[in-house]
Chain A
Amino acid sequence: MEESKPKLKLAIYWAASCGGCCVSVLDVHEKLFDVISAADIVFWPIAMDTKYADVEKMPDNHIDLTLFNGAIRNSENEHMARLLRQKSKILVAYGSCAHLGGIPGLANFSTKEDIFRRVYEESESVINPWKVRPQTESEMSEGAVDLPSFYDDVRSLSQVVEVDYKIPGCPPQSERLLEVFTAIVSGAELPPKGSVIGADTKAQCEECIRKKTENKKIRKFYRPWEIQDDGVSCFMEQGVLCMGPATRAGCGYRCIKGNAPCRGCYGPPPNIIDPGTKMMSAIASIIDEKEPDEISKVIEDIPDPAGLFYRFSLPVSLIRRKLS
């Protein structure tokens, strides 16, 4: 066996996330053996029996690479973000939630109070006559026990700690993860700190596989199930809202190939400040009406513009939460 350089130490952590990002790491399939031959996984709660205390005992900068997925929603998420930052040489915001706030970020349309009332009191499946709610500290006969405290706001990882790189996607495409991993293992020159890696810099539309014409004139928008998609032409030209104009390419058009419009999980490309304002401009350009009433009628076909435009990116957007 050749003398190899010491193995990388790799950590993977989930904060407020669904687990899909961790699964996307497994989706490299047999290439996982290449990953394991180049790196020791020192911490990965979904797959290994490691404890927070094990991480706490590590010296600073002990971990070479941490893939951090999930948004910051409570004090446990924040604690682990700070801890892993301290222990890691390279901290990567992995996936839409760590990168942009993601689906959990939609909670910024509500407050903690709204959410607790709904979940612990009003939900159809809940019977809670004493209005019991989670307490951060409780005295039990065995002693004091505690729970993480729930925040009013959801934040992206880089809104809490310094992040070296961001890999977008819900989840990131496994091939792109391998490229990034290989680059780090091979010691290739890495892009400047803070960069989005594992994705393109263009917008989805620029190289979309669907046919586009210049004739974009829409008098009615449809939900995807309301229309017989021809399978060939641009979704927007058929009147189906697609986040392509405001979304970074690099996912391999997975949704488009599955005949579904883009949902925006890769976030905006570098020249776009805010995906929602970009979408408002794009939509305003294709509505073929001039009278305020007629325009408003077309806009009625978009029942939830904020939720649609900021499905993955509300916490990092210009208006990052609903005013309470």
Chain B
Amino acid sequence: MSSAAKNIVLIGNPNTGKSTLFNALTGLNQKIGNFPGVTVDKKTGSYNYKNNKVNVVDLPGTYSLNPNSVDEQVAKDYVEQSSKDDIVLVVADATNLKRNLLLYTQIIDQGKQVVLVLNMMDLLEKNKQEIDLNKLSQLLNCPVIPINARIEKGVDELKYAINNYAPKSNTFVDKKYSSNVVDETMLRFNKINQIVNECTTKTGENKSYIFTKKLDNILTHKVYGYLIFFALLFFIFQAIFSWASYPMDLIDSAFIFLCDYVSHLLPQGMLNDLIVNGILAGLGGIVIFVPQIAILFAFITILEDTGYMARVSFLMDRILRQFGLNGKSVIPLLSSTACAIPAIMGARTIANYKERLITIMVAPLISCSARIPVYTILIALVVSENEVYGIFNLQGLLVMGLYLLGFATALLSAWVMKLIIKSKEKSTFTLEMPIYRAPRWKNVGFEIISKVKIFLFDAGKVIIAISIILWVLSSYAPSNKFEQIEAKYTTQAEDQTNNDISAVIAAEKLEASYAGIIGKTIEPAIKPLGFDWKIGISLVTSFAAREVFVGTMATLYSVGDEDNTKSIREKMMAATNRETGEKLYTKATTFSLLLFYAFAMQCMATLAIVYRETNSIKWPIIQVVYMGALAYFSSLLVYTVFS
């Protein structure tokens, strides 16, 4: 037994249960990072066997060592550059031995130490097929371990085989005699064919394939296929928006309680204010989206795990291709209705760089859940709750209209980018249709945990930083402006209660603060859109998260409401234009503001993720500029038309 830690590398075709085996080997003892320079998930973990530590790396699925995508390139490079002492576990689907052995033979010819792991042995039995494992091991001169990763059968035997591995030297085909890759691959298949024929006996049909094709007759049907897809979508949206509201309300109350508790616990002053109104408020704004993201990723993982996602992409490819997107863009675009961050992370499955980039660039145009509070309060200003159009509630219709507008604009922008972005890479849709299987709940759990972690930590860092900056900007003012405001009000304190005055003071302080100065500075630029400096401040604070708009408005319009009896909506309704004295939130201004929030890139966290996913500062900048221009000019147009 060697004392040094062993390293093993997991490689295999997609859909062979490689990740399930990785989870079975390492348990929760794993972490997800990135391969250097590319945005491909690198999963590493470890386990202990008889007091020896074994490090495991899970590579992206690949069909061969002739890469067709970034994922496959990463897998190829990693295996080729791995140490000669590392053991490569080639995970193969036992029901499709011939194809899976191609990768195995290529790795053997790299001079690597290999263990062949045959997964899905249960399906093989179901299909009444047999593999003579001893013979296969003999013919390949390589340990062959049968497993069923789903129920973790054979995992102990695999660990034992790894621990007792004896190095071998093997060659499968002599590359000198093959002139090109196609000929070489055919040579490999000829040899593989002989081996497979010697080792396998088939008495039954492959039942899972027959079932899968029958199900595809319905799920990719020209009518039922789309109907089922849209019904499923409706269900997922229901889940994201209604089920998630319960845990979201809980989180909301928990943070209100926490803020209240901390603010009483710590002595009054700047530190207290920073922690409560800066950091805790910022954290609350992130954590509240966790239920939606968890539910969304649960559905996405289930749809992928069962094999249904490949069919949806198949149904949508033709339509999306017109706009420079890909069948696989469906999921990121739909995820954007919850939050653009998981959507952009989800675009990784698109192999073509240009199509992936366009998907990332247009995803934030689709209305996310953070826009809902903004839409709700603004629409309420111009349309009353019980106004109807035919049988439909007018408020509901407007919200739906904004969503549709978001989708349409995303597609249109994608189409424009398709014309502008140059790419030599060929666009294909060569995608395996996996057989339908029940979801592996453990994988679903792992996936939710890992995506929520990325969201909390990557997006979280940025949101906290921005929250602190905004807090500083709105809590400080040049020279002694704040003292002057406080002094002004202490003289009037006798005839009013403390609460009323502090609200007025807070609002006046915000106006005098650096944030207020910024708002007034940008006023000339946003005036043509019908916005005043108060809206200007909200546009700035919305960079932390769009829903901050509501909170900022609440603070700003406390001025002049000494009794504090009015709702934000009533306050905003009463707001007037400083110059004309007329109502500020006319139809023109409100529609203009709605469009601005629909289109503008007001989310730092999304920008941070775009930066991470594209590995370049160029694309987030382009995104801010093009979405900003879109927002500005459509708001300008609407304001001009309506006023």
* A and B from one complex: no
Binding site for A on B (CB under 8 A): none
